[in-house]
């Protein structure tokens, strides 16, 4: 008998996911996108939702929340910190295994290009970034 594949949206929703959707709905109501009656209906539907698909449907006609100022910079710093940590582990591994051919150069260069690209996106003016998004 063949196993049935479950799509990601058909996975059962958790209480935390329901609360996240309800918080987003309340924010949208506060912004004037939903009236009190519609907010109540959607919150009730969120509490009774069994799958992620049902939760997504409750916010599909609403805009995504804007990113907070500084999020992009924090993401870059986190990206850079993780890159440097992994590269340090690779160089130490290389040094401890006999110091032959410097193989860490390849991930350093490959991932380094992604870091440079990420930095260049941040240096672009915000208006141009939004136009390209």
Model confidence over 4-25: pLDDT tens digits? 666 666 789 889 899 999 998 9
Average pLDDT value for residue range 67-96:
87
Neighbours of 8 (CB within 10 A): 8
Torsion of CA 88, 89, 90, 92, to 10 degrees: 80
Closest CA to 129 of 78, 83, 72, 82: 72
Q: How far is CA 13 from each of CA 5, 21, 90, rounded to the nearest angstrom?
A: 17, 11, 39
pLDDT at 132 over 80: no
Domain boundaries, the chain: 8-59, 71-132
- Look up the pTM and report it: 0.48
Average pLDDT value for residue range 76-97:
92
Length of the chain: 133
Give the model's pLDDT for residue 36: 92
Q: Do residues 10 and 52 make contact, with C-beta atoms less than 8 angstroms apart?
A: yes
pLDDT level of residue 89 (50, 70, 90 thresholds): very high
DSSP state, residue 98:
T
Q: Percent of the chain, pLDDT > 70? A: 82
Considering the chain, what is the average pLDDT of its residues? Answer: 84
Closest CA to 119 of 65, 69, 68, 83: 83
Q: What is the pLDDT of residues 36-66, one digit of tens each?
A: 999 999 999 999 999 999 999 998 888 886 6
């Amino acid at each position: 008998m063949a196993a049935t594949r479950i799509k990601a949206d058909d996975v059962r929703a958790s209480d935390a996911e329901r609360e996240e959707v309800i918080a987003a709905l309340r924010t949208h109501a506060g912004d004037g996108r939903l009236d009190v009656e519609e907010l109540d209906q959607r919150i009730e539907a969120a509490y009774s939702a069994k799958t992620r698909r049902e939760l997504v449907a409750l916010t599909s006609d609403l805009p995504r929340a804007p990113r907070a100022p500084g999020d992009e910079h924090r993401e870059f710093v986190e990206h850079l910190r993780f890159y440097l940590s992994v590269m340090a582990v690779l160089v130490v591994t290389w040094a401890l295994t006999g110091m032959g051919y410097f193989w860490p150069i390849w991930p350093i260069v490959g991932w380094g290009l992604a870091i440079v690209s990420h930095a260049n996106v941040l240096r672009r003016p915000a208006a141009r970034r939004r136009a390209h998004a």
